[in-house]
Structure 1
Amino acid sequence: MHGVPSPVAPQPIVPMSIVLMLLLAAQPVATDLYLPALPHIAADLDVAAGQAQATLTVFILAFGIAQLAAGPLADRYGRRRLLLWGLALYVLAAIAGALAPALPMLLAARAVQGIGTAASVIAARAIIRDQHAGAAGMRAMARSLTGQSAIGVACPLAGGLAAHYLGWHATLGMVAGFGVLAWLAVYTGYRETWRRPEGDRPAGLLTFLAHPQFVACALLAGLSFSGALCFLILSPFVFIGEFGMSRLAYGALPALCSLAFLLGTVLCGRLLRHWSVPRVVRLGACLSLLGGAGQVLLWHGGVHAVWALVLPQCVYMLGHGFHNPCGQAGAVAPFPAQAGRAAAVSGFVLTATGFVSGQLASASGASPSDTLVAAMGCITALLAVVALVFVPLACRDGPLPRPASQ
């Protein structure tokens, strides 16, 4: 065993739990914080609502593709070096977006920020696998996501305040400030955890896609994320556009969903101490299915009210708090020697699933509210099949077995 060369790290002064929380939060901060400003961006730049939505879409697309490069880089050069460069890119892109005078520059800045975010998130997932195996990795992921979701609760509220009083440019300025904080946390609080095994061979895409546990867990996380993403994309146009809510009031709605997700991650971490992984995932599936079905039944039953959309979404997000840590950590768990690459491929599957779902939702000719209800109904049905059938089959020999070759 020998270490990968990396910048000399000072003695850690920030707890590792805080570092991981900030790294995983880089993605929701870059999306949720500026959501309340989307209608303002469209008006200020004199573009259609769909073009304003493209600033989120291009971020997600760049984030998804960049993960495929971030994983091999994390396994080749180490987590720390990738993080310092990736977070620097994240900050510079946020500043460029805040200063953008027109949509093309804003789109370019958001794409670059997606690349920096990929480095942060992939390295964080790899660090968790460096330090934990099996269900312990899922518990560590759940704890980190609990902190991430606590930040997620504050993001739309802070974004709503900033958009209302300071304008949309200020929301991206706040994203840049968060990136600086995360960079400092890595520099002062993280020492390299990656050690390259002797004779390590790069794992190809088929190595991961041929493993049932990887496929089941990656799909679990991807479909669950799709439901959360569709709500994020459509909700400003549903609640601000159709229901006439102020940007300030709207900010409370994604915050409620993030709070439900936070509660789900806490429950998931505790239940994994006593329950098998398939049992925990089944409980999450019941919650997600209840949320999606409840939204469809209420809406088509004539209950066209804010609570009829938000309350079932919160129940769905409670289940998402089970699926996300189990799916993300479960996909990487069988590959300790290729954790960066496994995290990259699973992250790409997650983001690609969300991107396709978001594109279909954005292209819908129906009203935003009808589109949201239809999307959630379809997503929860597919998610239930994966969670109730595929994950138990993949983990039938016990929680998270490793491949025989490891």
Structure 2
Amino acid sequence: MMNARAVPLWLVLTLLFGIQPVATDLYLPALPEIAASFGGQVDAVQWTLTVYVLAFGLTQLFIGTLADRYGRRKVMLTALALYVLASIVPALVNSLGILILCRALQGVATASCAVSARAVIRDRYCEGAGMRVMAQSMTGMSAAALMSPVIGGLSTSVMGWQGTLSLVGAIGAAIWLIVYFGFPDTHAPAASGAQAGFGVFLRRGQFVFSSLLAGASFSGAISFLLLSSFIFIGEYGMSRFHYGLVVAACSLCFMLGTLACRRYLSHATVPQAIRAGAALTVTGGASQLLLWLAGVREPWALIVPQCIYMLGHGFHQPCGQAGAVAPFPQAAGRAASTSGFLLTAVAFTTGQCAAASPLPPAQTLVTVVSLMSAFIAFNAWFAIPRAYRARAVPA
């Protein structure tokens, strides 16, 4: 039998973060076949993504309290069991309503695993080491995001959409076994900090601005995903294959950014690492804006700056997410969930505004990325250094 020390912690964390792209990116290639299976109800099928995102965000409002009260491991195992169930049931029951419900449950399960994983990092590591581990885990998550669409396309071609959902469930079951046999809990249940309220977190500048840093960075990335197909396929006539390469290139740059962040944090402070990432972010956002204002309308004028932006994104996610939780070791679960809700709300709101924009998609993308880059620059060179200095001053 696998013992508690047989599985490296970084691998467990990577798998827990990785179920998110498995639940979304591996599932995406099956959407057209799902729509055809239910009579071409494209709008209804798109709800399977919408309810997932909403459930993912809303779950983070409360799941951290449960992780603090009952322990990380119990929440992880329950969430993974729900994840498996929500994958298998719609593959067996041919009902669009059941599929939509199960996708919402998958959002709940994915959020629970992500919050618990972020809390575990705070349980086990000090701030700088925690960010390096977060960056390492996100490197694995981005690798999963790179592979999932390819695997999803192949599985849908061979086994149909039901087979793809079953594959998602099988991956969840494998992770459940790894957590059950190879992961001891890192937190004693019912810690006193579990009752910390929202006001406690919102009064800490490091929590607020670290969360907003991650949210703003994610907003630029999610807006690209929402708009890019309309830009490159719809406006520029790019083939779906070449468009897939563009998305893969952005994911690869995010992965490289997480690797660079991890290396940078080995000899630099957190604010210095955030400024290094912001330099990449601002370079990408500013060059995209300047090329647009100069009248350059070639695909590369959007793609290359976006890739540079994604390199910076690889710094901001580990530094922002781990930095928000770091001041609250006794309430890490609640802090992780509140921060996760805040950054998801920022990104979701920005994405909805981008989708509803009256501007052409390319102009909307340039506008959003430029605004997010400016806000990230404010955070990196003013708000976050000030928050870290305030934390260092004794009360």
TM superposition score normalised by structure 1: 0.87
Which residue of the other structure, out of 378, 385, 388, is the alignment partner of 1:392?
385
Against the structure 1 CA distance between its residues 213 and 200, is the aligned structure 2 distance closer, same or farther, given a 3 Å change threshold? closer
Q: Which of 316, 320, 323 is residue 323 of structure 1 equivalent to?
A: 316
Q: Which residue of 1 aligns with 2:26?
A: 33
Q: Pick closer, same or farther for the CA change 1:108–1:346 going to 2, 3 Å.
A: same
Percent identical: 53
Range with greater deviation from structure 2 (125-134 or 300-309): 300-309
Q: Among residues 346, 362, 366, which one is paired with 2:339 in the alignment?
A: 346
Q: Which residue of 1 aligns with 2:180?
A: 187
Alpha carbons of structure 1 residues 199 and 291: separation in structure 2 relative to 1, 3 Å: closer
Q: Which residue of 2 aligns with 1:6?
A: none
Q: Which residue of 2 is the match for residue 157 of structure 1? A: 150
Show the 5 A alignment for 1:247-396.
247-396=240-389
Which amino acid in 1 is paired with 2:167? Answer: M
Task: Label 1:155 to 1:239 Cα distance change in 2 as closer, same or farther (>3 A).
Answer: farther
- For 2:359 and 2:163, locate their aligned partners in 1 and report how far apart those are by CA, in whole Å: 32
Instruction: Please report how far the alpha carbon of residue 343 of structure 1 lies from its aligned counterpart in structure 2 after TM superposition.
Output: 0.4
Distance 1:318 1:176, change over 3 A: same
1:82-121 aligned at under 5 Å gives the runs 82-98=75-91, 104-121=97-114
* Cα displacement string for residues 377-404 of structure 1 (whole angstroms, at most 9, x for unaligned residues): 222222222222211111126xx75986
SS of the equivalent of 1:14 reads coil
Instruction: Find the partner of 2:215 among 211, 216, 222.
Output: 222
Say which is worse superposed, 36-45 or 72-81, in terms of deviation.
36-45
Check the 8 A contact 2:68/2:194 in 1, yes or no: no
Task: Output the CA distance in 2 between the equivalents of 1:403 and 1:108.
Answer: 49
Counterpart selection for 1:79 from 57, 69, 72: 72
Going from structure 1 to structure 2, the CA distance change for 1:58 and 1:306 (only over 3 Å counts) comes to farther
Q: 1:387 to 1:167 in 2, by over 3 A?
A: farther
TM alignment of 1:127-206, pairs within 5 A: 127-162=120-155, 168-196=161-189, 200=193, 202-206=195-199
Coordinate RMSD, CA, aligned: 2.7
Shift of 1:374: 2.7
Q: Structure 2 length normalisation: TM-score? A: 0.89
In structure 2, relative to structure 1, the CA distance for the partners of 1:196 and 1:347 (3 Å cut) is same
Q: Matched residues in 1 for 2:236 and 2:170: separation?
A: 32
Kindly indicate which of the two structures has a greater share of residues assigned to helix. 2
Task: Write the letter of the residue equivalent to 1:297.
Answer: L
CA separation of 1:54 and 1:276: change in aligned 2, threshold 3 A: same
Contact 2:192 2:330 in 1 (8 A): no
Cα distance, 1:38 vs. partner?
4.9
Q: Secondary structure at the match of 2:104?
A: helix
Aligned residues: 393
After superposition, the C-alpha distances for 1:240-268 in whole angstroms (9 at most, x for unaligned) are: 44445554443333322221111111111
Measure, in 2, the Cα distance between the counterparts of 1:308 and 1:40: 34
- Map 1:7-18 to 2 at 5 A: 10-18=3-11
Distance in 2 separating the partners of 1:213 and 1:309: 32
The SS at the match of 2:214 is helix
In structure 2, relative to structure 1, the CA distance for the partners of 1:57 and 1:371 (3 Å cut) is farther
Q: Which whole-Å CA distance do the structure 1 matches of 2:87 and 2:393 have between them?
A: 40
- The equivalent residue for 1:122 is 115
Partner Cα separation in structure 1 for residue 93 and residue 227 of structure 2: 24
Letter in 2 for 1:312: P
Q: Structure 1 CA distance, aligned partners of 2:315 and 2:45? A: 31
Q: Provide structure 1 residue ranges, at least 5 long, that are not aligned to the other structure.
A: 1-8
Which residue of structure 2 lines up, in the alignment, with residue 211 of structure 1?
204
* 8 Å contact kept, 1:145–1:265: yes
Call closer, same or farther: CA 1:218–1:356 in 2, change over 3 Å. same
